[in-house]
A and B are shown apart, each in its own frame.
Chain A
Amino acid sequence: MVNLNAVAPGGGREYYVALGLEGSANKLGVGVVKHPVVGKHEGGDFSYDCESQILSNVRDTYITPAGEGFLPRDTARHHKNWCVRLIKQALEEAGIQNAAKDLDVICFTKGPGMGAPLHSVVVAARTCSLLWGVPLVGVNHCVGHIEMGREITKAVDPVVLYVSGGNTQVIAYSEKRYRIFGETLDIAIGNCLDRFARTLRISNYPSPGYNIEQLALNCKKKDTLLELPYTVKGMDLSMSGILAYIDNLAKDLFRDNRKNRQLFDRDSDEAKISVEDLCFALQENLFAMLVEITERAMAHVNSNQVLIVGGVGCNLRLQEMMQQMCQDRANGQVHATDERFCIDNGVMIAHAGLLQYRMGDFVKDLSETVVTQKFRTDEVYVAWRE
């Protein structure tokens, strides 16, 4: 039996408060979450309904110039520069005067992610923990996304599509683990979109994927789709080949390579395909693959709910396609969140970390706070679910 109230909140309070620090990629997020003590949590699996309140959710994104990606070293420097400021701002917005007394736990991202940025954030977490005497919890980034998505949408047991810059996975819960049913065999979907945006030299603000989505909306020739490789392999997919293919097309377009008859008309020598068409084709192709593997997983585990999490989950076209797929299945439902929770944030780390803390799992010794770049979703023991 799951008992989420095993550990009592500190200072005789009627609620738990957690600070979450996230910095596994180019976003630095700090969030404060409050869970009230609820009687029903003592006797069963209500981890999707913690009645949590978000006291603050601040974020700063390291944005690189158009045509450039973020390097680990520079990203880590950005996080170091902003960490203290953001923590102060988050605590102030949450109305926490005395962190040592008012916080139950500090949660940080343990992995997966880029080594240097992860490391610079965990140093801040350790410092705060020692300064205020508050225990630490290391959280798996993917589990953070899943738990936050469940809490916001109240989806009890969905098939999860986790799509972001570093991960592409279809996940379903079974026997205390989030099991991976299908995933990418090479690069992540967000990575594919980001790198294509670099080739196009479009702005990285607010995010490359968002700008591709806007360009795709302006595509004039939506009914003649450019054909791209379609690489679903059972429940897995592969995206590096698609990227290489479309990258070459884009380069030929910019170089004005008239020999490429796929791009330039044989008679008039005019470009048949625009940047908008390329963006549209790329999105349609990639998202069709994602929805297909999600549908396979749903048929496999006999589920009718889907939860989309991760940065690419903000994409409205992806949400729309998922909606259409679910409408054609009996009682299908799609759950998605908006950019506050889809894009990496501190709140999700605080929320998932707090669940872990309430089950009595927190760091006993600082040697357990080592961050790791490789940390698979199914390595986490999900104590808070039946």
Chain B
Amino acid sequence: MSEDVLAKVYEYLTPGLPVVPIAQGAEAVVFTSEKHPYLPNSGKFILKYRPPKRYRHPSIDKALTKHRTIGEARLLTKLFLIEGLKVPKLIACDAYNGYLWLEFLGEELPHGKGFSNLKNFLWMYATDDGDPYCSIVEETLKKVGQQIGLLHWNGYCHGDLTSSNIVLSRSGKNETSWQPYLIDFGLGSTTDSVEDKGVDLYVLERAIISTHSAHAEAYNEWLLKGFSEIYKRYGDAGEVKLKEVTKRFQEVRLRGRKRSMIG
């Protein structure tokens, strides 16, 4: 991460507000903070910052940063209102400067297994002393499937579903059941197209296969099971839609990502 970006963030923030960088993607840098941006509360919060890109013309850069930050904030607010769907709570948004404040989710997994996203969680159970096919894993993956089902049923797409974009959270340290949250809606969209949903499912399947190849088959099956449960709740109409989506999913899988990909 370049020093310039850090300097910019410190300059922007109220002096004395501590932030720690945790991740950098192509578009945004993610920080954590111990302090709430405007309330006296303390706890843990996420700051997602889209730094200006030097390579593009300042007016293009401004328009894009604003558009994308607003888009993500709007999407999160809408998704937050859907019953049963779990997404991080939006705390603050400064679209002109490209800052989003979000609720912090997840925890450190026991025995130094890293942050509690789905990727590390699955790896934890896939090591020597864990059982990758135990009921906790099955239960969690079904819940993840349900979350995606809810998202799609309500007419939204995530756009970048991977096992690191799903965070698991639990109510207490000794609680065994985990609640999955979908995060990072940077590529998310409002859509009713079956194609987008099929591609969404395909992207997730590919991600599971590439990062958890040994047990991918079972994992994907459980995910789809959870996904179908949501659609089936809505009777015949749900069944019809489910059929459409799964059929398109098969087609997308056959043609590979987008067009002919051989090998």
Contacts and interface: CB of A to CB of B under 8 A. Distances in A.
B60 A288 contact: yes
B26 to A, nearest CB: 4
A227 B54 contact: no
A225 B262 contact: no
B53 A325 contact: yes
A230 B26 contact: no
Nearest to A176: B263
Interface string B56-81: 11111001100000000000000000
Contact of A328 (B2, B63, B187): B2
A81 interface: no
Contact of A234 (B56, B59, B63, B159): B159
Interface residues of B, number: 25
B8 to A, nearest CB: 12
A60 interface: no
B55 A325 contact: yes
Given A227-B63, A328-B4, A330-B1, A177 B263 contact: yes
B216 to A, nearest CB: 17
B25 interface: yes
B260 interface: yes
A225 B26 contact: no
Contacts of B159: 234
Interface in B211-263: 258-263
Interface residues of A, number: 34
A111 B63 CA distance: 40
A179 B210 CA distance: 15
Contacts of B59: 223-225, 227
B55 A321 contact: yes
Identify which of B4, B55, B56, B63 gathers the most chain A CB atoms within 10 Å of its CB. Answer: B55
Nearest to A374: B260
Interface in A204-255: 223-225, 227, 230, 234, 236
A292 B25 CA distance: 12
A227 B60 CA distance: 8
B60 A299 contact: no
Contact of B54 (A175, A236, A300, A324): A324
A45 interface: no
B57 A225 contact: yes
Contacts of A177: 262-263
Interface in A278-295: 284-285, 288, 291-292, 295
Interface string B38-52: 000000000000000
A376 B260 contact: yes
A176 B263 CA distance: 9
Contacts of A227: 59, 63
Given A179-B261, A328-B2, A230 B63 contact: yes
A103 B260 CA distance: 36
Given A175-B263, A234-B187, A324 B26 contact: no
A322 interface: yes
Nearest to A324: B55
B55 A378 contact: no
Given A291-B55, A296-B26, A324-B55, A285 B261 contact: no
A267 interface: no
A331 to B, nearest CB: 11
B188 to A, nearest CB: 11
A230 B60 contact: yes
B56 A299 contact: no
A27 to B, nearest CB: 27
A176 B26 CA distance: 26
Interface string A148-180: 000000000000000000000000000111011
A92 B25 CA distance: 52
B57 A328 contact: no
B56 A288 contact: yes
Contacts of A291: 53, 55-56
Contacts of A234: 159, 187
A225 B60 contact: yes
Given A177-B263, A284-B57, A325-B53, A230 B64 contact: yes
A378 B60 contact: no
A378 B261 contact: yes
Contact of A284 (B4, B60, B259): B60
A227 B258 CA distance: 30
B260 A322 contact: no
B4 A321 contact: no
Contacts of B27: 295-296
Given A227-B63, A230-B64, A288-B60, A379 B262 contact: yes
Closest 7 CB pairs of A and B: A299-B26, A288-B56, A321-B55, A324-B55, A296-B26, A225-B59, A284-B57
Interface of A: 175-177, 179-180, 223-225, 227, 230, 234, 236, 284-285, 288, 291-292, 295-296, 298-300, 321-322, 324-325, 327-330, 376, 378-379, 381
24 contacts: A175-B263, A177-B262, A223-B59, A225-B59, A225-B60, A230-B60, A230-B63, A284-B60, A288-B60, A296-B27, A299-B25, A321-B56, A322-B55, A328-B2, A328-B4, A328-B53, A329-B2, A330-B1, A376-B259, A378-B260, A378-B262, A378-B263, A379-B260, A381-B263
